Structure 1
């Protein structure tokens, strides 16, 4: 009997520490995992696609807006160049019309004006009397 008692004692120790190699309860079979995409993954994928689409649309709108601003800027620059050219032409016209030679020519040709002789000039005081002729002084002042 001692051997049987020992055997039961060993058997209890084996069961206590799990050395008997017998499962205590039937093992549950693990559920096979689906290889497909779960609903949570589908939601994340849809959200990511929508965000990427919104970013692309925003990029397209921003690019179009920048292109329209660049076009308007180029139009303004072109108008500026045209105005600068017109101003330059007007400056040349003003210079050519206000040039002393042009004024003298118009006065003599169109108006019939001539330089006065020294006998045609009257001076109020003796100090005003020039040493050279009046016409010579006028020419010197006009061309200097």
Structure 2
């Protein structure tokens, strides 16, 4: 095993005017210049490492934000699909409840309703002589009143009601 040689630096300056080692002041200048350059290099290296780390951090932050946004979109799409399925179920239930066969069966069974007999059916006659295209409502009312006086009193109330409905439709 080799033992490294130790280098000793002896200060042989006995007198300020007497110098054995004349290279010492120059080596201090070089050493101070080297240490300054080394510190500048170290500071530059640290700045570059911090800058690269910052860039990587920003890239990772951007990707994390994109991933979070995609996750939110996925959650919202699942909610949309769930609501669409519920809407389809509700539409199917609505169609089921509004079918005329089911309404007819409930009316007959639960409400004890029945179809009208022939004697219960009322037939209305409509005169073609009436000019319904005119906008003067008073003329129409006067003509209907004259016809009401001539017709059966049973149907006069029904005709007035129809007249009111017709005037509401205009």
Tell me the TM-score range normalised by the shorter chain: 0.5 to 0.7
Q: How many residue pairs align between the two structures?
A: 93
What's the RMSD between the two structures over aligned residues? 2.3
Counting only pairs closer than 5 Å after superposition, residues 71-110 of structure 1 correspond to structure 2 as 71-110=71-110
Distance in 1 (alpha carbons) for counterparts of 2:93 and 2:102: 11
Q: What SS does structure 1 have at the residue aligned with 2:118?
A: coil
How do 1:109-120 and structure 2 match up within 5 A? 109-120=109-120
TM-score by length of 2: 0.48
> How much has 1:102 moved relative to structure 2?
1.4
* Per-residue CA distance 1:55-100 (angstroms, 9 max, x = gap): 1111222122112111111111111111000000000011111111
> Take 1:77 and 1:123, find their aligned partners in 2: how far apart are those partners?
58
Which runs of 5 or more residues in structure 1 are unaligned?
1-30, 128-144
Q: Which one has more relative contact order, counting CA pairs under 8 Å at least 6 apart?
A: 1
Greater gyration radius: 1
Gaps of 5+ in 2: 1-29, 128-170
1:123 maps to 123
Q: Which residue in the other structure is 2:58 paired with? A: 58
Report the CA distance shift for 1:126/1:41 in structure 2 as closer, same or farther (over 3 A).
Answer: closer
Alignment match, 1:139: none
Q: Which residue is 2:18 aligned to?
A: none
1: CA distance, partners of 2:47 / 2:126: 104
> Hey, what's the Cα distance between the residues in 2 that align with 1:94 and 1:82?
18
Q: Secondary structure at the match of 2:117?
A: coil
Could you tell me how far 1:126 is from its partner in structure 2? 8.1
In the alignment, what sits opposite 2:19? none
